[in-house]
Amino acid sequence: MPIPQEAASEMAADPARCGAFKLSSFGQLVGPSRFSAGPLQEVMRQPGAHVLAQGVPPMASLPIVGVKITLADGTVIEIDKAESLTSQRYAPFGWSSLRSWLVEHVRQQHAPPAEDWDVGITSGSMYALDAVLRLLVDPGDAVLCEEYTFLATKDLLHCLRADIVPLAMDADGLLPSAIEAACEARIRAGRPPPKLLYTIPVGQNPTGSRLHPDRYAEIYALAQRFGFVILEDDAYACMQHRLMIADYEGVPP
């Protein structure tokens, strides 16, 4: 979801802020990467430099110089020498070809309206969820989520001592009215509004529901109104099986 321009201006004026709320205490302490901001990268990029901090073996020690894979349909995939060698070692600046492909994939599939969006690659979805939630959630912060949700994320939220607020669902997924009611109830009680909504819109775990297309805009409008961030765990977006559901025919992914 894009960050509104007003919120983006706030973030530029105060890096510890993210829209209408602050990063967690941990998020404020982390700061920019010392690796990225320091002189080490410049040294590592010098031709002929052998920097032990890279933690990678020399190319000459790698045994595989090419790979050929035959798929069940007869398609043959060949991986050339350069890619084969890269796959056997940790790339000190990341695997640029993979990252470039992912950036273009997101651009084509989602067309992010913000100008300063980017892609981060993590070692599995739980690592991503852990990183995001630690940067955003302090003990006592209210986190909205479906009343039935991914147990590993609930465990993580319990570890962060978040105030988990379960929300009602129906056959079409999360109910926007439940979000609105939960936010208004906290405000009436004089409590801070929720800081974050964690949701699994497609192939919801464990119910298997798919959020109805009309609800996306409603939920985003509520996020703007109450100032919470949407953490969308959309691991199953490419497995929607919409052709079996007449209501979704003609609806873009």
For the CA atoms of 154, 155, 159, 162, what is the dihedral angle to 10 degrees? Answer: 10
**pLDDT tens across 156-197, in order?**
999 999 999 999 999 999 999 999 999 999 999 999 999 999
Q: How far apart, in whole angstroms, are the C-alpha atoms of residue 192 and residue 140?
A: 10
Q: Residue 18: pLDDT above 60?
A: no
3-class SS at 190?
Answer: coil
**pLDDT tens across 109-130, in order?**
888 888 888 898 888 899 999 9
Q: How far apart, in whole angstroms, are the C-alpha atoms of residue 207 and residue 70?
A: 37
Least confident of 85-99, 174-188, 233-247: 233-247
Q: Where are the domains of the chain?
A: 57-90, 91-121, 122-248
Neighbours of 180 (CB within 10 A): 16
> Residue 16 — pLDDT band, cuts 50, 70, 90?
very low
**Two structure tokens written together for 117:** 């969006």
Q: How far apart, in whole angstroms, are the C-alpha atoms of residue 72 and residue 84?
A: 22
**Two structure tokens written together for 83:** 């890619």
pLDDT of residue 247: 55
Strand partners, 166: 145
Identity at 105, one-letter amino acid code: H
Q: What share of the chain is helix, strand, coil (3-state, %, to 5)?
A: 40, 15, 45
Query: In the 3-class helix/strand/coil scheme, how is 136-165 assigned residue by residue?
Result: HCCCCCEEEEECCCCHHHHHHHHHCCCEEE
Q: How far apart, in whole angstroms, are the C-alpha atoms of residue 239 and residue 204?
A: 11
Neighbours of 194 (CB within 10 A): 26
Fold of 122-248: Aspartate Aminotransferase; domain 2 (3.40.640)
User: What proportion of the chain, given as a percentage, has pLDDT over 70?
Assistant: 81
Q: For residue 109, give the nearest of 214, 240, 219 by alpha carbon.
A: 240
> Pairing relation of β-strands 142-146 and 163-167?
parallel
For the CA atoms of 229, 233, 236, 238, what is the dihedral angle to 10 degrees? Answer: 40
CA 4 to chain centre: 18
pLDDT of residue 4: 41
Q: For residue 230, give the nearest of 174, 154, 189, 192 by alpha carbon.
A: 174
**Two structure tokens written together for 226:** 């109450």
Inter-axis angle of helices 213-226 and 176-188, nearest 10: 20
Q: Residue 15: pLDDT above 90?
A: no
Neighbours of 201 (CB within 10 A): 23
Element holding 41 (H helix, E strand) = helix 40-44
pLDDT of residue 75: 95
